[in-house]
Structure formats: structure tokens, C-alpha cells
Chain A
Amino acid sequence: MATPFREILKTKDFVVTAEVGPVKGSNVSKAIEHIELLKDKVDGLNVTDNQSSVMRYPSLGICLLIKEHGGEPVFQVTCRDRNRLAIQADLLFAYSRGVSNVLCLTGDSIDVGDHKEAKQVFDLDSVQLIHLVHTLNSGKDMAGNELDGGIDFCIGTTATPSADPLEPQLIKVEKKLKAGVSFIQTQAIYELDELKRFTEFVRNRDEKVKILAGIVPVIGAKMAAYMNENVPGIFIPQHLIDELAQAPKGTGVSKGIEIAARMIKQIKEEKICDGVHIMFIGREEKVPEILEAAGLL
């Protein structure tokens, strides 16, 4: 059985989490492979929630599989697809089956996904969602009713340190800190100065929250350009795009891994923040390589 994530956050120097992206369909065999591959190499495994607004096997389903296989899941919950009743209900269910870590996110817009005519729910936003989990944690639902059988989630959220303009984003981060979070997993970081500035901002307001820098390996200059244009919250600087462009043909993936590992090492050595959150969706089998190259295995 894995150590509860909230304990790891309190005691470990450098926390490492990774992500498992569910597939479109009921075939969970690949997810199980990834779980088996990663569960003992990282402190927590996030499962995305209809990531990029593409309909997939639910986060909660994979979280249960992670539990079954002895890993420690982080249940990602967005506000895009479910209203406050459905979210509360899901949290009750999740907790009852041993899932006790939740990541609160707003969620990508419907337009970036594959069901472009669907209704966007956004009954809540991410800050309200954090408050909601605290309410449930305290033994009541959002309407003030007492719960028969409570929950106790370890609450995390996201942030975008490379947002431009940054100030509005920081105001929101402040609200999230005030609401109370145990960990922040940032969007992909490519500039460590941005990370340092962000960490300082957070530390000045909350000394306890753990900051895990988001690491998304980029495997080619074209991919980098595509991501800059199409993936919300991602900003890859030109010098990295150039470095990728110069890599010999066919070495894109290893170059991406090299750059990612380099960043992780630097973050760890300089103690810039409390850990990393590695997102390599579609290439989960390569995550151990990154961990190895970064000296984390």
C-alpha cells in the first residue's frame, strides 16, 4: 500500500508526481500498464479529467484502479463537465473507495476538445471548488446539510506561473491559498526564473503549501510551436524551440527528455520548489527515463 500523499507532502524533501491519461474507451489495459510502471516510482499519480475537453474514461475510474494496484492516486476534478451536485456526489464516492487526494481545476473550454457543441457547465470555478471540498471535509454539503459519513481530502490545485499578464493570475493564486490548499502543481514550466518568482510569491503568503513544478517534455520544434498556439497555459520560450530544432532528426524524444531532466535537476539542486509534476501524456512509458536522467530513481 502506498504512503498517503498528504504524509509525503509533510515529510519528503522533493516530491515527484506523474500523470496517467485515460484513453477513449472502456479498455483500461494500457492504463493498468502505466500504473504498474509508475506507481512505485512516484509519490502520487494524477489522473486527468476529460483532458483537453476530449471525452475519455473517467478520472475516478482510473483512480480506483490505481488504488487497486497499490498506488496513490490524485483525483483531478474540473468544473467544465459537472455541476455542484455531481461533483459533491463524486467526491463522496471517491473517498468511500479510498481516493483521498483531489486536484481542483477550472478545466479547458469545450472548444479545444472533440465535442464542440456540448454545453460547458462551469457551475463552479476552481476557487469555489476548493472551498467546496473544505466544506465537505467539515462534514457538511454545500447547502449546509450534515453528511452521514464524511470525507477528508488532501486538496491541491494548479497555477500558471508563466501567464502573461501575470498579476491577474497571481490574484487568483492568492484566493486559492486563502481558501486553503496543501499542494500546487503548476502548468508546464520552461523558464526557471518564472518558477522562482512564483515560488517567492506563494511563500510570502503560505509557508506550508508544497509547490510542484509542472514538467512537460517537448519533443520537437514543431510540437513546441503547436503547443504555444493551441494548448492553454503553455508558453515555450524561443531558445528551447531553437535547441529542439537543432537536434538531429529522430532524436526529438530523447532531446525533450534531456531538457526536462536538466530542468528537474536544477530545480532540485537549487531547491527552487518542493518537487515536480511530470506530464507526458501519451508517452507515460517514457516517464521512468526522465526520472532516471534526473537522478530521481
Chain B
Amino acid sequence: MIIAERKPMEEIEQAMAPYKKVLVAGCGTCVAVCWAGGEKEVEILASQLRLARSAEGNEIVTLEATVERQCEKEMVAELKDKVAEVEAVLSLACGSGVQTMAELFEDKPVFPAVNTTFIGMPEKEGLWVEMCGACGDCVLDRTGGICPIVRCAKGLLNGPCGGTRKGGKCEIDPEKDCAWVLIYRRLEKQGRLDLMREYYSPRNFRAVKRPGRVQAVKA
């Protein structure tokens, strides 16, 4: 799922500085799960803003609302009345949600309160790790199910690089595993190291021509 992290408070406070009445809008899907922008986070952020502005003597009125998915036009449309009452919207959704909000309510400034970071999963409670690079040309079949595009810091298809740290950690960050060492171990377990011995030709970086566009057909 999409992982996001709340922006530094200074950025949010600065963005909200010119406004006296805002809608703090959350999303109940990905950002709720990763504790960045769900209903609870909306409540807390709105309260923090009210406390801060009250202390400054420059009160702010906040409306709060969380929709199930902020990237769905129909769901965002439900916020029409609340948006009409405010000067600006502070959205805690991922970039997709923020933009849907901005598109539906073109006359209102919409500010992102989180930084969308990656597609990932929880390694353990509260610890999110990047898993998928949305490269549009999935090679997980060749690497024992470990993505070399984003889990290898250099995105190598014929890894590892020569910089692997002792014990199989990544050159860039000793906390992170070298993806190619992980791939090696996984394929070795499965007796399929021949996959790693194969030469992989240069990646098609235009597999997804950004901005991406996919027409799906319902079965």
C-alpha cells in the first residue's frame, strides 16, 4: 500500500498561516493504515493547529472530515458543503488524494500535509519498508520475489555492486540489507541460483511513460 509520512510541522504551520478557517481532510485507506492521515491523525493535527494558533493569538477554525478514499471523485464530492465554508483545505491524503481534492474544488487552495513516500508493507508494527517501485515491468519472477528496482539502492538488474557492506548490508545504509544478497539467499534456498547467473539486459525505463495511464476492462 501507499506509505506517507506527515510533513514537518513548520511546513504545515507556514502553509496554514494565511488562513482562518480550513478543512482538515483525511483518508481512511492507505494513510490511515500507516498512521499518517486517517481520522485519528486528522483529529490530532487539527487540535495541534488550534492550540498553536490560539497560543499565538491568531485563532484558526478547523473543520474535520475523513472520507474512505480521497482518490475517488464520488467520495470527495461528499465534502462539497464543508469545502464551501472554508478558505483552504489541508489534506492528509497521499498525492493522489490531494490532487483529486484540488481538481474537484478548483477554486480552493489545497495543501498536502503528508509526504507520500513509497509503496510498501509493515516489516513490523509501525515500521514501513519500500517494496515496489511501480516500474511497470515486474521482474519479481527472476529474483525470488525480491524487487531489485527499489530494494537495491541502485536499482541494479545484475547485482550486487562492489560496495556491499560486511554481512550483506547495503553500501548506502548499514541498517538496510543488500537486496542482491537477499535475492541470492532466497534463490539458493529454492535451488534456483541459475536465475541469478543469467544476464539481464538494460531496463526499459519507458515501460510506464509518465504520467501513467491505464485503461482497465471490468471482467
Contact = CB atoms under 8 A, between A and B. Distances in A.
Interface of A: 80, 84, 105-109, 111-112, 120, 122-128, 131-132, 142, 158-160, 163-165, 167-169, 171-172, 174-175, 178-179, 187, 232-233, 235
A235 B166 contact: yes
A131 B199 contact: yes
B167 A164 contact: yes
A160 B153 CA distance: 18
A168 B163 contact: no
A235 B167 CA distance: 12
Contacts, number: 102
Contacts of A105: 162
Interface string B170-200: 0111000010110110000000010011011
Nearest to B161: A106
Contacts of A107: 154
Nearest to B178: A168
Interface residues of B, number: 33
B38 to A, nearest CB: 31
8 contacts: A123-B203, A125-B156, A142-B202, A168-B184, A171-B197, A175-B158, A232-B163, A232-B165
A232 B158 contact: no
B118 to A, nearest CB: 16
Contacts of A187: 162
Given A158-B162, A178-B199, A165 B184 contact: yes
Given A106-B156, A125-B161, A232-B171, 19 more contacts: A111-B173, A122-B156, A125-B154, A126-B158, A126-B161, A160-B163, A163-B160, A165-B164, A168-B159, A168-B180, A168-B183, A171-B193, A175-B197, A178-B199, A232-B161, A232-B164, A233-B163, A233-B171, A235-B166
Given A164-B166, A164-B168, A172 B201 contact: no
Given A106-B156, A175-B158, A233-B163, A127 B168 contact: no
Contacts of A169: 160, 162, 164
